């Protein structure tokens, strides 16, 4: 059974999907932090969260089990994605399901600010009838500035246009023609936008570019009386600057749904005139919560049943059909990585992979990641997979270059890997026989044909009569059975240099190897251990169906 932990409350419609999957057992454990969260995460294969739980690097420290975290919502800023990636954990989200809810909440806050809804009702509750106190303004004819024209930003623009507002937008990643189609006039810079707007709303992610994007100098560029709304992320707008702007009278109103630090139950902004705040309710509609819970649970079930990776923020997408087509090659390159790591223990400085033939048309990024996973697996304590291998390689300063050619060589597809270690380099090439039988077809200058599985002895020797017989005799005495033998010669004539790859049924004792190395024609012999044939490679664990 796959075990999934639900870390924030999600809609029952999603949980029902987990129940009906048949192979998933889930537990709801909310409100976790610190050591409790770390221990919990270590007991599960998958996790679902919203914005309530903070999945920090500490919470993931030492986790050997978790394979996937699904965020039932958009923002993954409460998950340390870099740490998850290093640990080989896939992070997915469910963009789109809560767009309308958030856009409507933005409109609700804008309208409520404009018509003093909250203070007017408060005064009514106090037994007052102060119609003169709460004179409002109309949205119609006003200019709304929208920073970030993604899903929510565009949905807000549509609604604001229906209210007959003029919409000015800023998003360096949205083509101008698309903005025009939506009826949005775009600005090239934020400095062009600020002086024009009566209302300003932000809909970007929070990142290093957007943190404090609206601060004191930016507020100074805005019109006196501007109303500012944030339904995206706390931290995009500096809360102290908002307070100062309100106190000086430069800002006419502030509505916040999100805060720099959440939960936020105490803020100098709370209770100030012309301020309206909600506790991160943008996505809190029944419809949005049903959407995101269903989508999140579908992502999890698909991942654990078919290996599909969708909506991942830290891994290339992988659908079951592509995965099925890639499986044999992933296995081949992973084994080549494991082989190259074992023939020389010195750390690599750079690698080159050449994809030749039909394989060159495949998603070679994933294949190269599988090679890197194999190459690093032996050196590292942690498990290396398709998610973390590229980062771990980069962290070690190991460059990986790819070359692709669709020209068919000796095989329909061949993958040649070359690993450089300071002044040395080692080369091996592999091919797939049938759909799933990985074969070593070249090692250094030698052509050969050997299965890439189990325990292998790779030896280099002078091609003279009797070598194989003497090696066989030594292994026989040490009770090591030779299952398969493959030989190759640099030049196709006797007396030159040769390679022998022996598949062994058990790991040979060190004395047997020492005796073999004493044989005069043998220069070098290395034992390499690869997974047995067909064994599920560990890079995606239970996510990879057989």
Ligand X SMILES: O=C(O)C(=O)COP(=O)(O)O
Q: Which is nearer to ligand X, 137 or 285 (CB)?
A: 285
Decide: 201 and 171 in contact? Cβ < 8 Å.
no
What residues act catalytically? Answer: 233, 262, 280
Which residue in the set 47, 232, 246, 417 belongs to the binding site for ligand NAI (CB under 6 A)? 232
Q: Which is nearer to ligand X, 51 or 260 (CB)?
A: 51
DSSP letter for 217, please. H
For the chain, the straight-line distance linking the first and the last C-alpha, in angstroms and rounded, comes to: 15
Which residue in the set 233, 335, 354, 461 belongs to the binding site for ligand NAI (CB under 6 A)? 233
Residues 67-96 that bind ligand X (CB under 6 A): 73-75
Quick one: which segment of 198-206, 299-307, 342-350, 519-527 binds ligand NAI (CB under 6 A)? 198-206
For position 50 contacting ligand X by CB under 6 A, the verdict is: yes
* Beta strand ranges found along 46-181 (DSSP E): 46-49, 68-71, 90-93, 143-147, 166-170
* CA separation for the pair 103, 18 (Å, rounded): 29
50 binds, among ligand NAI, ligand X, none (CB under 5 to 8 A by kind): ligand X
* CA separation for the pair 286, 352 (Å, rounded): 52
Residue 431: phi and psi, rounded to 5, are -140, 160
Specify the DSSP element, H or E, that contains 525.
strand 522-529
Please state the closest distance from residue 539 (CB atom) to ligand X, in A. Answer: 29
Quick one: which segment of 22-30, 201-209, 325-333, 419-427 binds ligand NAI (CB under 6 A)? 201-209
Enumerate the β-bridge partners of residue 5: 27, 47
For position 153 contacting ligand NAI by CB under 6 A, the verdict is: yes
CA angle centred on 146, ends 145 and 147, rounded to 5°:
120
Please state the closest distance from residue 26 (CB atom) to ligand X, in A. Answer: 18
DSSP letter for 270, please. T
Q: Which residue matches tokens 């692709």?
A: 404
Please state the closest distance from residue 347 (CB atom) to ligand X, in A. Answer: 41
Nearest to 401 by CA among 421, 422, 424, 418: 418
Q: Which is nearer to ligand NAI, 114 or 204 (CB)?
A: 204
Nearest to 83 by CA among 60, 49, 50: 60
545 binds, among ligand X, ligand NAI, none (CB under 5 to 8 A by kind): none
Which residue in the set 5, 228, 283, 527 belongs to the binding site for ligand X (CB under 6 A)? 283
Residues that bind ligand X in the complex, under the rule CB under 6 A: 50-52, 73-75, 98, 280, 282-284
Residues that bind ligand NAI in the complex, under the rule CB under 6 A: 74-75, 95, 98-99, 102, 147-153, 170-174, 203-205, 209-210, 231-233, 257-258, 280, 282-283
């Amino acid at each position: 059974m796959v075990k999934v932990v639900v870390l924030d409350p999600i809609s029952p419609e999603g949980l029902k999907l987990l129940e009906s999957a048949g192979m998933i057992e889930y537990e709801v454990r909310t409100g976790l932090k610190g050591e409790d969260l770390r221990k919990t995460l270590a007991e599960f294969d998958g996790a679902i969260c919203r914005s309530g739980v903070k999945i920090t690097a500490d919470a993931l420290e030492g986790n050997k089990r978790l394979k996937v975290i699904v965020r039932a919502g958009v923002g993954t800023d409460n998950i340390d994605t870099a740490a998850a990636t290093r640990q080989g954990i896939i992070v997915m989200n469910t963009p789109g399901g809560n767009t309308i809810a958030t856009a409507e909440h933005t409109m609700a806050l804008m309208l409520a600010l404009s018509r003093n809804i909250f203070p007017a009702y408060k005064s009514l509750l106090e037994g007052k009838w102060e119609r003169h106190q709460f004179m409002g303004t109309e949205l119609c004819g006003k200019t709304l500035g929208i920073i970030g024209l993604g899903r929510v930003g565009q949905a807000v623009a549509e609604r604001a246009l229906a209210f007959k507002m003029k919409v000015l937008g800023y998003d360096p990643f949205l083509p101008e023609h698309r903005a025009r189609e939506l009826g949005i006039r775009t600005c090239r810079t934020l400095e062009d936008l600020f002086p024009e707007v009566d209302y300003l709303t932000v809909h970007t992610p929070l990142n290093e570019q957007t943190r404090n994007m609206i601060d004191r100098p930016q507020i100074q560029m805005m019109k006196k009386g501007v109303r500012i709304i944030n339904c995206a992320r706390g931290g995009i707008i500096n809360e102290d600057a908002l307070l100062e702007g309100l106190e000086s009278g430069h800002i006419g109103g502030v509505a916040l749904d999100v805060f720099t630090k959440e939960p936020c139950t105490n803020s100098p902004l709370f209770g100030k005139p012309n301020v309206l705040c909600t506790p991160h309710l943008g996505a809190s509609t029944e419809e949005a919560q049903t959407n995101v819970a269903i989508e999140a649970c579908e992502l999890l079930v698909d991942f654990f049943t078919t290996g599909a990776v969708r909506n991942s923020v830290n891994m290339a997408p992988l659908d079951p059909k592509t995965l099925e087509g890639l499986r044999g090659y992933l296995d081949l390159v992973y084994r080549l990585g494991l082989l190259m790591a074992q023939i020389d223990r010195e750390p690599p400085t750079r690698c080159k992979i050449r994809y030749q033939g039909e394989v060159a048309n495949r998603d070679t990024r994933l294949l190269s990641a599988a090679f890197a996973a194999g190459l690093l697996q032996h050196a590292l304590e942690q498990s290396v997979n398709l998610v973390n291998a590229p980062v771990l390689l980069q962290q070690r300063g190991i460059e990986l270059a790819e070359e692709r050619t669709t020209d068919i060589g000796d095989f329909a597809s061949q993958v040649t890997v070359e690993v450089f270690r300071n002044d040395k380099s080692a080369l091996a090439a592999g091919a797939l026989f049938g759909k799933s039988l990985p074969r070593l077809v070249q090692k250094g200058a030698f052509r050969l044909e050997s299965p890439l599985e189990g325990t292998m002895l790779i030896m280099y020797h002078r091609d003279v009569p009797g070598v194989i017989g003497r090696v066989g005799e030594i292994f026989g005495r040490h009770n090591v059975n030779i299952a398969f033998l493959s030989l190759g010669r640099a030049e196709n004539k006797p007396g030159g240099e040769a390679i022998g790859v022996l598949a062994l049924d058990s790991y040979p004792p060190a004395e047997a190897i020492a005796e073999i190395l004493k044989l005069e024609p043998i220069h070098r012999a290395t034992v390499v251990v690869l997974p047995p044939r067909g064994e599920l490679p560990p890079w995606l664990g239970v996510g990879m169906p057989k």
